[in-house]
Amino acid sequence: MSSEKHNTSKQTPQPDWRLEIDKYWKQVSEKTGDFFNDHKSMFSAGKVASAVGGTLAVVWLASGFYIVDQGNRGVVTRFGAYSETTMPGPNWHIPVPFENVAIVNVEQQRFIEVGYTDSSRINKSSLIPQESLMLTADENIIAVRLAVQYQINNARDYLFNVKNNENTLKQLTESVERAVIGRNSMDFVLTEGRSQIVAEIKEQIQAGMDEYKTGISIASVNLQDAQPPEEVQGAFEDAIRAREDKQRLINEAEAYANEVIPKARGAASRIIQEAEAYEAEKIAKAKGETERFDQLLVEYEKSPAITRKRLYLEAKEKLYSSTNKVMLEAEQTNPMLYMPMPQTFQQHGSSPAASNDAEPTVEPHNADKNGMRKTSGNELRPSRSKQ
């Protein structure tokens, strides 16, 4: 009997979760069916279609909402033609297929490179000879690497007027670059003319892009590098060093001139002042002599003989005042006269060296009528006039 019980326990089925799910699903289906059967009039085929269509219409209209981020513009097209440009913020357009919207970033800085391929690594391997080699006005070849930075200022023109804006900008830049460099010499391009050439290239590129109505604004043009080909690099470096030496010598000469010229001007000014003073002195002296002569002429015209005598005496007095004199008696003649001139000068405190420019004067004894004093005997007595 125990064995029968044991067999009976083995035949009892275990609960299965799959069966439970099926059971519950059947119950839900039955209840749902009963509900629809009880409300058939409410859920007719036409109303279901309307509900589905309304839902789809709401979803379709909601798909027309879009948000334009800051710095962007939304360009709306209707059946492919331009409709409007929307500003940053939430916007709505008629959903496809009637209207579409394209988002354009108008604040992003974009770059193109002419003459090389990688702006972050400028080296020989990145050169593009077809773009970089330029011919200058003096028929020299230089390799130029140029970078142009631009941004979009008109989203409509950028999307609709030109098919490939970047390629158009690159071709225009290369054309303008060749034209500008071709009008200047190699030395000017490689040295002091860089800034002028860059400004001219930028101006002409912007004019061309405006003419094509590309909607692009040129922010800057950078001349990354400009150098002659390798074959003439050494000669060009020698020319640069010579130019630097020339400039150094010019600077030294200017510094020396700035130092010497003020001194020379000062010396010239001093000489001019001395000459002017000498001129004034001579003129004043000449005027004084002229006035004296005029006064003397008046006196001479009044009494010529007396004036001549007075002039003679004044001249003689002036002459004798600066010479040594020896007085002799003319009545007592002596065939040989001894005149101890050096001893006589020494006794009176004079030296021959001091009297070289004033020769002694010998006067006869009868010269007293001219103001000379007589001496007795044959004694030689020198005398000086009072100064």
pLDDT in tens, 141-164: 888 889 999 999 999 999 999 888
Q: pLDDT at position 239, please? A: 79
Residue 108: how many CB atoms within 10 A of its CB? Answer: 11
Query: 298 or 352, which is more confident?
Result: 298
Per-residue model confidence as pLDDT tens digits over 235-260? 778 877 888 899 999 999 999 999 99
pLDDT beyond 80 at 79? yes
Q: pLDDT at position 93, please? A: 87
Q: pLDDT at position 302, please? A: 85
Q: pLDDT at position 192, please? A: 84
pLDDT beyond 70 at 28? no
Bridge partner residues of 105 (DSSP): 72
Q: What is the mean pLDDT of residues 92-103?
A: 88
Q: pLDDT at position 44, please? A: 57
Q: pLDDT at position 19, please? A: 64
SS3 content of the chain, % helix, strand, coil (to 5): 55, 20, 30
pLDDT beyond 90 at 43? no
- The percent of residues in the chain predicted with pLDDT above 70, rounded, is 69
Determine phi and psi for 128, rounding to 5 degrees: -115, 100
Query: pLDDT band for position 301 (50/70/90)?
Result: confident
In this structure, which amino acid lies at residue 75? V
Gap between the Cα atoms of 289 and 275, Å rounded: 21
Q: Is 327 helix (H, G, I), strand (E, B) or coil?
A: strand
Q: What is the mean pLDDT of residues 359-385?
A: 44
Query: 278 or 341, which is more confident?
Result: 278
Q: Which two tokens stand for residue 205?
A: 């590129």
Contact between 142 and 228 under an 8 Å Cβ cutoff? The reply is: yes
Q: Which two tokens stand for residue 40?
A: 């058939």
pLDDT beyond 90 at 174? yes
DSSP string spanning 164-204? -HHHHHHHHHHHHHHHHHHTS-HHHHHTTTHHHHHHHHHHH
pLDDT beyond 50 at 138? yes
- Specify the range with the lowest mean pLDDT, choosing from 171-175, 221-225, 240-244, 320-324: 320-324
pLDDT beyond 70 at 205? yes
Determine phi and psi for 60, rounding to 5 degrees: -65, -45
Q: pLDDT at position 183, please? A: 92
Regarding pTM above 0.85, the answer is: no
Q: What is the mean pLDDT of residues 124-146?
A: 82
Per-residue model confidence as pLDDT tens digits over 303-341? 888 888 888 888 888 887 777 766 666 665 555 555 566
- The percent of residues in the chain predicted with pLDDT above 90, rounded, is 30
Report which of 184, 187, 153, 173 is spatially closest to residue 223, judged by C-alpha positions. 173
Q: What domains are defined for the chain?
A: 46-105 (no CATH), 110-230 (3.30.479.30), 236-314 (no CATH)
Query: pLDDT band for position 197 (50/70/90)?
Result: very high
Using only C-alpha atoms, the chain has a radius of gyration, in whole angstroms, of: 63
Burial 200-231 (b: 16+ CB within 10 A, else e): bbbebbbebbeebebbbebeebebebbebeee
- Specify the range with the lowest mean pLDDT, choosing from 32-41, 52-61, 140-149, 350-359: 350-359
- Specify the range with the lowest mean pLDDT, choosing from 102-106, 119-123, 148-152: 119-123
- Specify the range with the lowest mean pLDDT, choosing from 116-120, 219-223, 232-236, 375-379: 375-379
Report which of 60, 41, 63 is spatially closest to residue 52, judged by C-alpha positions. 60
Mean pLDDT of the chain: 77
Q: What is the mean pLDDT of residues 34-54?
A: 61
Burial of 306 (0-12, 13-18, 19+ CB in 10 A): exposed
Going by the DSSP 8-state scheme, the letter that residue 69 receives in this structure is P
Q: What is the mean pLDDT of residues 57-77?
A: 87
Q: pLDDT at position 341, please? A: 60
